[in-house]
Structure 1
Amino acid sequence: MEHQSYAYGRNHFLLDPDLPALLKRYWQGWEAHRGELVAFGELAGGEAYRVADHVDKEARPVLVMHDLEGKRIDRVRLSPAQEALLGRLAAINRPPYEGGSWHHHFTQGYLLADPGLYCIQTITGCVIYSIHKYAPEFSAWKERLLSGEAVGATWMTEVQGGSDIGANQTGAHWDGESWRLNGEKYFSSGAGLTDYAIVSARPQGAPPGPKGIALFLVPRLDEKGRLNYRVRRLKEKLATRAVPSGEVEFTDTQAHLIGRAEEGIYYLLETLTLSRLANACGAMGLARKAQLEALFRVRQREAFGRPLLDHPLIRRDLTDLAARIAGGLALTFRAVAAWDEAWTERPPYSPRYHYARLLTHLAKARTAEHGTYCTQLAMELFGGVGFVEDFAIARLAREALITPIWEGPANVQALDTLEVLFRKGAAEGFEGEFVPRLEALQTQEARLALAAIERTLTHLRSLEPAQAQWHAKEALRTLADAASVALLYDLETVGGERYAKLATLYARRFLGGGEYPSWALEEPQVWAGEMSQEIPM
């Protein structure tokens, strides 16, 4: 790995220029955990980086369908290196349930970033969340999941429905002793690895559409120790090879109802919000790793008689990477802060919870765009070898492709954004937070962001529902960018002048539609962060 990656073997926490400011701003008392985060940064840049590459290229999970006696077991065989690492990574799910902060979890998820390795922790975390909040009678299973002794999963997707949960056809009936499920899930992450899954199904007699969906907890083995469902096959995927995903069949599968059946769709959406935040962290984490690879590359590679770093066009691309990553991270950590304040709420929810949902939609959709763009741009900075699978940068770009799709593509995020903006009243919360902030700044870029918010919300309010949907994706992008500008300015108080400059760059590019101003050419602290100290000017 050391011959194929510039970022391997380096501490990804210590190299990160934005985390200290973000943590200082949003996570009170984070310094008490600094040593743990430094150690995790070493793991993320070392063993985890290497194992992810090893699994991707040489040791994908393999489905083992039968044991020595010919019984169906439907278990995956993992690389011993991945198996050992997963046991160590399980601890990232513990903080929120031990009096800690969600920032602790998501910071580690961002540092880890690898979609396969982090996905396993995320889907396990969603099962832990559901048990903790709505099914405490299964606390023993929760402890197994928290310890890393067991793995969880979230299985909702059906082939005819895709992102439309209301189209689910998996049925649930009560046989007098327990709930039984019949149906199939078409894309089930963690298939063959999972010990406890949360599964969406429609109880007999439930109304059509999403309001008829209930949420069930399904163990791998039923109460008699028999295989409780079958894994038909694993999927071949372009990316995220470290997490096995496949098709799962339920035939009179024993299941346990979580909470109240009529509230199942709300529980499901809560876990989806949690997963979307993880998706945003993963997208930005991949972008950061790609940026690190590119920063080391351009310092060591020469073209036209001088280091790549000395060329203005290269510095322009590095500026693009820095602005996108800082803006995406600022929005993501603000969304995490909102979730940290609202996650204990139960239906019916308060405006505070719906506002957390809105920020999550904005962060998930926009960071996915930034993540894919950043990894592809970093690949381009490598030149021809960037497209060769031998090198880590190619895998990062390939992995990033999944972030706009998992947990709902931009179309779904846009529809959900319209719902929470106007049906749930989150537009007032958004205006209440960002309009006064931007009005107080009195800069040209702040006025640009303020005008974008006012123009976008006024336009959406004037439209019929079908017309609003037509404009929803661009509106989502604009609101996310305007919020990112305000949040970058906000970081100046804890992170210094660099963030005011990043806010200016971000606003000029993504709200003004122009090129980055050329003064950034001589601002290595902006586009290289902590590494600028090693760059001669």
Structure 2
Amino acid sequence: MDPIDYGRFEAGRHVNYFDLDRTFRREVARVLDEAEHEWAEPRLREFGEAVGHTVADNADTVDDHGPELHTYDAHGNVQNEVEYHPAQYENERIAYGAGIVADAFEAPPGRDGAMPLTHHLAMEYLLSYADPGFTCPVSMTGGVALVLDKYGEGDVLDSYYERLVARDGDENVEGAMFLTEEQGGSDVGANETVAEHVAGREYELTGEKWFCSNIDAEGTLALARTPDAPDGTKGLSLFLVPHTKGDADETDELNDQRYRRLKDKLGTISVPTGEVELQGATGYLVGEEERGFKYMTDMLNLERLSNATASVAIMGRCLLEAKVHAANREAFGSPIQEYPLMKRDLVDMAVDHEAATAYTFDAGRVLAEREAGDDEAYRLMRALVPVAKYRTARLAVDTASYAMEVLGGNGYVNDFVTHRMLRDAQVLPIWEGTSNILSLDLLRGLESEDAHEPLLAEIRANLDAVEHPALAETKTAVEAANADLGTAMATLATEDGDYAQLQAKELADLVFDVYTAALLCREGQTEIDEADDARTALVAERFVDRHLREPGGDRGIGDGDRFALERFDAVVRYGSVDPESLVDAAPADD
């Protein structure tokens, strides 16, 4: 495949994001089966075209003209109205009309069954190239649909589910998840909202929710405690709290709640986030009482992967902007991509993006298998998902920040998209659990679910599939790191709780690095087998060198590393690489 000439673009817009992101295309082809991929590819390409043009332009407009809350009407009556710019409505029609939620729940045109959740994540990835903020309500709409599909009972909840997965813009409604309360924050068990039974599955909820994204969603899931329920998360029940009372087709009577104010946020302007007072608001019980937190974790797992998907898409968009600028911007007589330091920076940004994208979509594959009925996938998912959300969020912030630097002063001003991407990225380490919370969640998964067993088995299976000599040295390094990972897990299993928590983030980083390295090695082997191309093998090599091999006392300065100079076209521009050229270049054994 020919390398991409980024110099022919003016910027990372008015392009097709699906066509330009070969990393994403590779991952989609890997996690979908042949029939799914055959159906999805033209639709993802069509969506990538729409996002690269209309949605991207609209996203900039919406960022400058964000939602406005009108809590009261002219007579002082509560109306809870959020006013949006018309560009936001157009983006909604494009995204929901393309099946970004619907296709994963109901059979789309041309198929006998629904697509897996990996397709939903792929659509979110493309959307996040233009507007990660809008991906928030999209992902929550999918999350509420997932919960109602699994646990919802009764006509009211059925009516909301049907409209959450509707493709028609006139029929479609959005979902949300109100978890956070001011006194609790990440400690969900400290929630104080109470729910009093009215009749059947109907309850009245009273309390305050502090950080409510997509505040005016027609169908919101909220946790509350019924009278005499135990403290902590075990006593929480889950309710669907509509914007208006009744089923999804009844829109005349406002629910008993007040949207108090919108947050003045750094980024993600396209999604209104605010504070809600539940004043005896009507809610409909989902599933059984006191099992709400368990039900909500199903949505939370999907939300965390949506967060990771948005993170890697921000990395992809910012990398694209940096590549285009570096190919066009001349300094001292040459395009800046010709200078060694810029080559190295772009190579390492590209490798980070490939690594994070591979890990995220593999975690998505495992989640989709679990939701499709594979109970064995649950334990592996418990290890992969929190790490995916934690690591990719930090990478998104770092990548967006450096892409801004590549663009220089232009990158720092609102006229260029890196300004918005950095602002949007900064919330991703916070949404759906901070890095500390996620690292502790990994520990819980290892302790309560023995998640280390399928994790280590998956790493072993990926490494066992690698056999080409071009990957031999890289595989050896990953083998050693995998042994270290097993030792680290065994050590923490025997230490006291405080020490295990102290080292939890280090463990999460090690899990990401070893799992990703093994996965990239396997993908490199597959690419050699199927396309006689060793480009991904080079990506695996660079990732391992940077994350799993310790530099010497001189920080690697004396090791003769010329990777970025010699492999720039292959890694940054997607140039093909002859596998035998890597074998020939390897030093002979003594």
Judge same fold: TM > 0.5, yes or no: yes
Aligned to 2:447: 422
SS in 2 for 1:13: helix
Q: How does 1:502-521 map to 2 (within 5 A)?
A: 502-514=539-551, 517-521=561-565
Question: 1:132 and 1:241 mapped to 2: Cα distance?
Answer: 30
CA offset digits 1:458-516 (Å, max 9, x no partner): 33223111110000001101111110001111112443411111111111111224469
The 10-residue stretch of structure 1 (150-159 or 59-68) with the greater mean CA deviation from structure 2: 59-68
Question: Distance in 2 between the 1:344 and 1:231 partners?
Answer: 37
Q: Deviations over 1:290-314 (max 9, x none)?
A: 0000000001111222110110100
> Offset of 1:115 from its aligned partner?
2.1
Task: Indicate if the aligned counterparts of 2:268 and 2:424 stay in contact, CA closer than 8 A.
Answer: yes
Moved more, 16-25 or 257-266: 16-25
Change (3 A) 1:195 1:485: same
Q: TM-score, normalised by structure 1?
A: 0.94
The letter of the residue matching 2:24 is L
Superposed displacement of residue 351, structure 1: 4.7
Give how far 1:445 is off: 2.8
* 3-state SS, counterpart of residue 63 of structure 2: helix
Q: Which amino acid letter does the alignment assign opposite residue 94 of structure 2?
A: R
Shift in CA distance, 127/432, structure 1 to aligned 2, threshold 3 Å: same
Partner of 2:572: 528
Q: Which residue of the partner structure matches residue 208 of structure 2?
A: 184
Provide the residue aligned with 2:535 in structure 1: 498
Q: CA deviation at 1:437?
A: 3.1
Change beyond 3 A, Cα 1:176–1:26: closer
Q: Distance in 1 between matches of 2:101 and 2:452?
A: 32
Cα displacement (A) at 1:532:
8.8
CA distance 1:363–1:184, change in 2 (3 Å): same
Deviations 1:55-77 (A, max 9, x none): 112x1100122345653211101
Match of 2:52 in 1: 45
Give the letter for the 1:451 counterpart: A
Return the alpha-carbon distance in structure 1 between the equivalents of residues 456 and 576 of structure 2: 36
Residues 5 and 145 of structure 1: is their aligned pair in 2 closer, same or farther, counting only changes over 3 Å?
A: farther
Q: Deviations over 1:117-159 (max 9, x none)?
A: 1111011111111111111432221122222431211101001
The answer as to whether partners of 2:355 and 2:520 remain within 8 angstroms in 1 is: yes
- Partner residue in 1 for 2:397: 372
Check conservation: 1:283, 1:371, Cα contact below 8 A.
yes
Letter in 1 for 2:135: Y
- The change in CA–CA distance for 1:296 and 1:44 in structure 2 (over 3 A counts) is same
Looking at structure 2, the residues matched to 439 and 350 of structure 1 have their Cα atoms a distance apart, in angstroms, of 24
Alignment partner, residue 136 of structure 2: 119
Q: Does 1:162 align with 2:194?
A: no
Q: Does 1:146 align with 2:165?
A: yes
- Residues 57-104 of structure 1: CA distance to partner in whole angstroms, max 9, x if unpaired? 2x1100122345653211101001111211221220012212211121
* Residue 446 of structure 1, CA deviation: 2.2
Q: For 1:332 and 1:206, how far apart are their aligned partners in 2?
A: 37
SS in 2 for 1:18: helix
1:239 corresponds to: 267
Percent identity between matched residues is 34
8 Å contact from structure 1 (residues 132, 142) kept in 2: yes
Q: Which residue of 2 aligns with 1:256?
A: 284
Selected match of 2:40 from 26, 30, 33: 33
CA–CA separation in structure 2 for the residues paired with 1:420 and 1:5: 46
Tell me the secondary structure at the aligned position of residue 262 of structure 1. Answer: coil
8 Å contact kept, 1:351–1:426: no
How far is 1:228 from its partner?
2.7
Alignment of 1:13-412 (within 5 A): 13-28=18-33, 29=35, 30-57=37-64, 59-67=65-73, 70-90=76-96, 91-98=99-106, 99-113=114-128, 114-137=131-154, 138-147=157-166, 148=169, 149-176=172-199, 178-191=202-215, 193-223=216-246, 225-344=253-372, 350-412=375-437
Contact preservation (8 Å) 1:319, 1:526: no
Report the Cα distance in structure 1 between the residues aligned to 2:70 and 2:89, rounded to whole angstroms: 15
The change in CA–CA distance for 1:97 and 1:439 in structure 2 (over 3 A counts) is closer
Whole-angstrom CA distance in 1 between matches of 2:255 and 2:234: 30
Larger CA deviation: 445-454 vs 504-513: 445-454
Let me know the Cα RMSD of the aligned residues. Answer: 2.0
Change in 2 beyond 3 A, CA 1:478/1:391: same
Find the aligned partners of 1:482 and 1:44 in 2 and give their Cα distance.
34
Q: Cα distance 1:461–1:439, how it changes in 2: closer, same or farther (>3 A)? A: farther
Q: Quick check: 1:379–1:393 contact (8 Å CA) kept in 2?
A: yes
- For the residues of structure 1 that align with 2:199 and 2:49, how far apart are their CA atoms? 53
Q: Secondary structure at the match of 1:238?
A: coil
| Residues matched between the structures, number | 525
SS at match of 2:280: strand
CA spacing shift, 1:33–1:344, aligned 2, 3 Å: closer
CA distance in 2, matches of 1:24, 1:127: 27
Q: 1:432 is aligned with what amino acid?
A: A
2:503 aligned with 1:471: yes
Q: How far off its partner does 1:226 sit?
A: 3.2
Cα deviation digits, residues 218-256 of structure 1 (max 9, x gap): 111124823331100000000100000000011111111
Instruction: Return 5+ residue gaps in structure 1 as ranges.
Output: none
Q: Which moved more, 1:255-264 or 1:230-239?
A: 255-264
Q: Which amino acid aligns with 1:410?
A: S
Q: For residues 135 and 10 of structure 1, do their structure 2 counterparts lie closer, same or farther at Cα, with a shift above 3 Å needed?
A: same
Deviation sequence 1:19-78 (CA, Å, 0-9, x none): 232122210131222111111111221111111111112x11001223456532111010
Partner SS for 2:51:
helix
The answer on whether the counterparts of 1:351 and 1:424 sit within 8 Å (CA) in structure 2 is no
Shift of 1:354: 2.7
How far apart are the structure 1 equivalents of 2:346 and 2:192? 48
Shift of 1:520: 3.0
Q: Distance in 2 between matches of 1:448 and 1:282?
A: 32
Cα distance between partner residues in 1 of 2:21 and 2:244:
43
Measure the CA separation in 2 of the matches of 1:196 and 1:163.
Answer: 23
